A and B are shown apart, each in its own frame.
Chain A
Amino acid sequence: MERVVAIILIICLNSCQKDEYFGPVYPSNSDEVSITPGNLIYIGCEGNFQFNNASLSVFNLEDETIQNDIYKRTNNKQLGDVLQSIIHHGDSLFLVINNSGLIRILNDSTFEELAIIEGFNSPRHMLMLNDKKALVSDFGGGALSVVDLVSNSITNQIQAPEWTERMVLIDDMIYISNMKDSSILIIDALSFEKIDEIQLSIEPSYLFSLDHKLVIAGNAKKGAKLISFVKSGALETLAEFNNRISGSALYDSVGYFLLNNTVKMINLRSQNEGQFSHTAQTPYSLYVDESGIYISDVIDYLSRGKVLRYDASSQLIQELETGLIPQVILR
C-alpha cells in the first residue's frame, strides 16, 4: 500500500511543472558572448519553418572563431521563426524574421536588441533608401512596406505583387523581384510610383548593381541564366547554366554562381570564366568578399549547418559549424 501511495505521490509531484520550460530544447552555449568588434562575418541561420529556432552566428576574422546563437545568449529569448535576411547599416544589424512578421534591430558588436519593427505580413528583404527610410518586400501580403527608421515603424504600404523578394536601388529607381510573375518591377524611389515591369524568362532570385546596370541571376524551367538590364529596356543574356543555381554573389565585378558541386565565376567586365569544386553536401547560399568565398551547407535541413570558407585561390581554409540552415552571410 505504501508503494501505491508513493507512486501516486511521485506522479502528483512530477506534475507540478507549471513554471518549468516545456518547449523545444535547442543546443545553446550558455557562455557570455564575448566578441571583439571589428572584423566580423555575420551568419543568419534560417531555422526550420514554424520551429522558432532561427539563430545568429558570428565569425571573427581576427581569431578565426565562430560563436553561435548570439541573439539568444545576449537577449535571453528566441530570435524567431525563419530568419530570411540581414542588412548591416551603420552600427546596426536589421534581422528580417519572415514567419514572425517582424524585424529585429541589434547593435552590431554587442548584439543587444535595440528595437523591433512589427506589423509585417511575411517580410523577406530590406532595402535602405537612406538613413531614415527603408523598404521591405513581402510574401503573400501584396504590399511593400515603407519603414521609418527613426520611429521604427511602418509608415506606408505600397500595393505590389503577391511575392516580392530582393531589391536594388540604382539611380533613384528601385528594382524589385516579382517572384510570382517572374518579372522585375521598377518603381520611383521618391514617389514609390510604378514606372515599369519587365517580364523575364527566369525567377529573379538574385539582383545586383554593376556600373549602373541591373544584373539578374535566377533559375529557369531548366538550368539558370544571368541577365543584364539597362534603362533603355534592353535585356541581355550574359551567361546560361545547364543546372539550377542555389546561390549567387557579385564581388569586384565577378559573378559567383553556386551549383550542386561547383562554383562558377564569370568576370562581368572581361567575360573571363573559371570554376572550382566545393564539398558542400547541400549548398544553399553564397557570399564573397576579400576575406574569402563562403558557401553555406544546410546538410539535411534538420542538422546544424556549416559554412565552408574558401580563399581566393579556391582552397578550402575553414569549415565553420553554425546553427540550423545557414542562409544569409554578410559583413
Chain B
Amino acid sequence: MKWKWTFLFTFCLGHLFSQKTLELRPVDVLDSNQVGLQSSFNIHFDSIAQEQINELDLLAFLSSRSSINFKTLGPGLLSTPTFRGGDANHTQLLWNGLKINSPMLGTIDFSTIPVSQFSDISIITGNSMNLYSSGGLGGGVLLEQSPDYKSDFIEIGQLVSSFGNYSTTARVNKNFKFRNKSLAFGLMSDIQTLSNRFLYQDISQTPYSSEVMNNASFTRRNISPMLSIPISKSINVTAIYWYNETSRSIPSAINTSPSIAQQEDVVHRSMGIIDYTPSNTFGLSYRAMYEDNVNAYSDTALSIDNSNDYQTVQNQVDAHIKPLKVLEIKGQVNHSYTQAVSKNYSEKKTNYTLGSMLKAEYSILKESVVFELGSRYTSFNEKNALLPFGGVSIKPISKIPISAFVSASQSARFPTLNEMYWSPGGNDSLQPERGQLLEFGLNYQTAYQELKVAFFNGEYSDRIRWLPDGGVFVPTNVNYSISKGIDLLFQQKVKIGAHRFIIGGNGQYINAQGGNSKTQTQALSFIPNYTANISLDYQYRQLGLRYTYSYFDKRFISNDESSYMPAYQLSSLAGKYSVTLSSAFSLNFTASVSNLFDWQYQNMPWRPMPGRFYSLKIALKWKG
C-alpha cells in the first residue's frame, strides 16, 4: 500500500516541478510528436542524431527501451525481433517510410542497423502499421533520416571496448548556401570492428569450464551522405545514399562441431524525396528508393556456398489535406518491384506489390474526441487484401492531459519469396497470414511526465509454417495464434537546482498462445511472459550518469511447454562528461560498464553471451 502512495507522491511531485521552467536535455527524449494512430500505443524517440548514443546497433537500442524482444545468437550475430507475439517477419522496419525488410526472408537483422544515423526512431503497434505498410502484424519500427536545417555540427568519435572491440563514428551536419539556395548536408558513418573474444562458461557438462569465444568477429562499415535542397518555399528535395556492409564469422553453438561459417552482406540503398507543402492544410510527398542487397553465406565444413541477392525499386506518394479544422485526410499510394536470385531458386524470381491507403481523422468537442478511420489495400502477385483500421481517443477533461483510446485493425503479411520459391519446398499458392488486433488504454503526457498503458489482443490465422512432406519441408498456411497482454511506458523528469533526474521505463506482460487450431494452443516459443526496462538518468552541469536495468523472463523453446530458457537480468552504468574547449569545440567522454553484475546468460540455447564489459568513447564535436 505504501508503494502506491509513494508512486502517487512522486507523480504529484513531478507535476509540481513541471510547473517550473526547465530545459532538460535527456539522453533519450520521449516527446509528443505524433506517429501512427493517436488511438494506439506508440513510442517516439527524437533528436537521436544530436545525442551521444552508447548503443552501437538498433538491437541494443530497442531492447533496452521497448517491449520488442529479440532472439540474438550473440554480439554481432543474427538478431531478429518478436513484437507482441509475432514472428520476426511480423515486425516491419521502415526507412523514411519505405520498407527495408528482406523480401526473400521477410525479416531484417537488427544488429546490422546503426542507431546514430537516424534523427528519429519510432515504435508503432499493428494498428498503426496500416498507415505505412502491410505486413506489420506485430508492429513496426520507423527510422527517420534527413539533414537538419537548424544545426551545424561535426563529430568524430572513437569507442574502445573490452574483447578487442572498436567503433569509429563520424557525423556531420552542415548548412550552406549555393547559388542563393540554402542546402543542408549530412554525413553519418561508422565502422565497427568487433573481435568478440569474451570469456564464457561452457555449461554443457560439469564441472563448468571457462572458454574464450572464438570465430565471432564482426565488421560493419556504414556510411550515409544526404543532401536537402529547398527548391522553393514549398518544395524541398532530399537525396540520401546508405551503404551498409557487414562481414561476420559465425561461431558454432556450444557442444557442437566447430564450423567455419562466414556471412558477407553488402547493401546499397538510394532514396530521393520530394516534399511539396504549399500550406499547412495540404501536402504532397513523393519518395523513391532503389536497394541492391547481396547476402553471401559460406560454410566450408558443410560445403555451403550460397548467395541470395535482390534488387528492389519502391515508389510512394503520400498526401494529406485538411479541408476543415476538424477534418484531416491522409492518403498513400505505393508500388514496389523486386527481383531476386538464389541458388535455391530455379530461376530469377520477381514480385510486384501495389498498395494504397486512405485515412480520415475527425475531431469534435474542441478536439477532445478524435475519430480515426481508414483502410489499406494491398495487391501482391495477384493476391489482394483490404485492411480496415480505426480508433477513437477521448480527452475527457481539457485541463488534464490524459486521454483514453481504443483502436482495432485487420492486417496481412504476404508470403516471402523464399516461402513461395525455395527449392525444394516453395509453395506459390500460399495465402497471406491474417491478423486482427484490438488495443485500448490510457495516455497521460506533459512536458515532464509520460505514462502510457495499453491492453492488447491480437488474433492471427493462416500463419505460415514449414511442414514436412515426405522429407521436404513445405510452407503451409496452418497455424493460429492469439496474443493478449499489457504494454506500459512511463517517464518522469525532475529538476532540483542544477540536478536533473529522469526515471523511465517500459514493461510488457504477454500471454501468447499458438497451435493448429483455436482449441489446441500452447505457449508460443521464445516469447517471455514478462519483460521490463528501467532507466535512471542523472545530469549535473557537464556530467551525466545513466543506469539501466533490464529483465527478460523465462521463455519456452519447445512448443509443448516442456523446455525453456531461464530468465535473466542485465544492468549497465554509463557516465558522460563534456569538456568545453572553446565556444565551438567540446570533447565528450563516455565510459560505460555493461552487464554490470556479470550476469551469465544465454538469449538463445547454447549461444554464449558476454559477461561484464567496459567501453570508453571519446568524441570531439564542433558546433556551429
Give the interface of A toward B (CB within 8 A): 11-12, 14-27, 50-53, 76-78, 80-81, 99-102, 120-122, 139-142, 162-163, 205, 219, 224, 243-246, 259-260, 282, 284, 298-304, 324
B497 within 8 A of A: no
**B-side contacts of A120, CB under 8 Å:** 257
For this complex, 5 residue pairs linking A to B, each with C-beta atoms less than 8 Å apart, are A12-B597, A23-B254, A51-B605, A244-B469, A302-B559
**A-side contacts of B605, CB under 8 Å:** 23-24, 50-53
**A-side contacts of B597, CB under 8 Å:** 11-12, 14-16
Give the interface of B toward A (CB within 8 A): 201, 203-206, 208, 252-258, 299, 301-304, 465, 467-472, 525, 549, 557-560, 562-566, 568-569, 571, 596-602, 605-606
**A-side contacts of B302, CB under 8 Å:** 122, 139-140
- With known contacts A78-B205, A100-B257, A141-B301, A219–B562 Cβ distance under 8 A: no
- With known contacts A11-B597, A51-B606, A140-B303, A99–B472 Cβ distance under 8 A: no
- Asked if residues A99 and B598 are in contact (CB atoms below 8 Å), the reply is no
Given contacts A19-B208, A100-B257, 18 further A-B contacts (CB under 8 A): A15-B597, A15-B598, A18-B598, A20-B600, A22-B201, A22-B602, A23-B605, A26-B563, A52-B254, A52-B606, A100-B256, A139-B302, A140-B303, A244-B469, A244-B471, A244-B472, A302-B558, A304-B560
Interface of A is mostly: loop
- Asked if residues A100 and B255 are in contact (CB atoms below 8 Å), the reply is yes
- Asked if residues B571 and A24 are in contact (CB atoms below 8 Å), the reply is no
- Asked if residues A302 and B525 are in contact (CB atoms below 8 Å), the reply is yes
Q: Which residue of A lies closest to B471 (CB)?
A: A246
Q: Which residue of B lies closest to A303 (CB)?
A: B560
Q: Which residue of A lies closest to B303 (CB)?
A: A140
Least CB distance from B253 to A in Å reads 4
- Asked if residues B600 and A18 are in contact (CB atoms below 8 Å), the reply is yes
- Asked if residues B599 and A15 are in contact (CB atoms below 8 Å), the reply is yes
- With known contacts A23-B204, A122-B302, A244–B255 Cβ distance under 8 A: no
Q: Most A CB atoms within 10 A — which of B472, B549, B599?
A: B599
**B-side contacts of A17, CB under 8 Å:** 599-600
**A-side contacts of B569, CB under 8 Å:** 11, 14-15
Least CB distance from B383 to A in Å reads 26
- With known contacts A50-B606, A78-B255, A120-B257, A244–B205 Cβ distance under 8 A: no
- Asked if residues A101 and B257 are in contact (CB atoms below 8 Å), the reply is yes
- With known contacts A50-B256, A52-B254, A99-B256, A25–B566 Cβ distance under 8 A: yes
- Asked if residues B206 and A50 are in contact (CB atoms below 8 Å), the reply is no
Q: Most B CB atoms within 10 A — which of A81, A120, A163?
A: A81
**B-side contacts of A18, CB under 8 Å:** 201, 598, 600
Least CB distance from A6 to B in Å reads 13
Q: Most B CB atoms within 10 A — which of A22, A25, A99, A122?
A: A22
What's the Cα separation between A302 and B252 when bound, in Å?
21
- Asked if residues A52 and B256 are in contact (CB atoms below 8 Å), the reply is yes
- Asked if residues B606 and A245 are in contact (CB atoms below 8 Å), the reply is no
**B-side contacts of A12, CB under 8 Å:** 597
- With known contacts A80-B255, A259-B470, A304–B562 Cβ distance under 8 A: yes
What's the Cα separation between A141 and B218 when bound, in Å?
26
What's the Cα separation between A242 and B501 when bound, in Å?
71
Least CB distance from B42 to A in Å reads 30
- With known contacts A15-B597, A50-B256, A302-B525, A27–B470 Cβ distance under 8 A: no
- Asked if residues A245 and B470 are in contact (CB atoms below 8 Å), the reply is yes
**B-side contacts of A100, CB under 8 Å:** 255-257
Least CB distance from B193 to A in Å reads 26
- Asked if residues A205 and B471 are in contact (CB atoms below 8 Å), the reply is yes
**A-side contacts of B470, CB under 8 Å:** 219, 224, 243-246, 259-260
Q: Which residue of B lies closest to A17 (CB)?
A: B600
- With known contacts A52-B256, A246-B470, A282-B467, A25–B565 Cβ distance under 8 A: yes
What's the Cα separation between A14 and B596 when bound, in Å?
12
The 7 closest A-B pairs by CB, nearest first: A244-B470, A101-B257, A15-B597, A303-B560, A140-B302, A302-B559, A24-B605
**A-side contacts of B601, CB under 8 Å:** 22
What's the Cα separation between A299 and B520 when bound, in Å?
13
- Asked if residues A22 and B562 are in contact (CB atoms below 8 Å), the reply is no
Indicate which residue in A21, A23, A300 contacts B559 across the interface (CB closer than 8 Å). Answer: A300
Least CB distance from A96 to B in Å reads 12
What's the Cα separation between A304 and B561 when bound, in Å?
10
Least CB distance from A262 to B in Å reads 12
**A-side contacts of B599, CB under 8 Å:** 15, 17
- With known contacts A11-B571, A23-B606, A50-B256, A162–B303 Cβ distance under 8 A: yes
Least CB distance from B604 to A in Å reads 9
Q: Most A CB atoms within 10 A — which of B253, B256, B560, B569?
A: B256
Q: Which residue of B lies closest to A51 (CB)?
A: B605
Indicate which residue in B467, B558, B598 contacts A324 across the interface (CB closer than 8 Å). Answer: B558
What's the Cα separation between A302 and B522 when bound, in Å?
12
Q: Which residue of A lies closest to B515 (CB)?
A: A300
**B-side contacts of A298, CB under 8 Å:** 468
What's the Cα separation between A27 and B558 when bound, in Å?
10
Indicate which residue in B204, B469, B565, B596 contacts A78 across the interface (CB closer than 8 Å). Answer: B204
What's the Cα separation between A111 and B348 when bound, in Å?
52
What's the Cα separation between A243 and B471 when bound, in Å?
11
- Asked if residues B549 and A53 are in contact (CB atoms below 8 Å), the reply is no
**A-side contacts of B252, CB under 8 Å:** 50
**A-side contacts of B253, CB under 8 Å:** 50-52, 81
- Asked if residues A121 and B256 are in contact (CB atoms below 8 Å), the reply is no
**A-side contacts of B465, CB under 8 Å:** 300
- Asked if residues B257 and A27 are in contact (CB atoms below 8 Å), the reply is no
Least CB distance from A202 to B in Å reads 11
What's the Cα separation between A80 and B257 when bound, in Å?
10
What's the Cα separation between A122 and B252 when bound, in Å?
13
**B-side contacts of A324, CB under 8 Å:** 558, 563
**B-side contacts of A142, CB under 8 Å:** 303
Q: Which residue of B lies closest to A123 (CB)?
A: B257
Least CB distance from A117 to B in Å reads 13
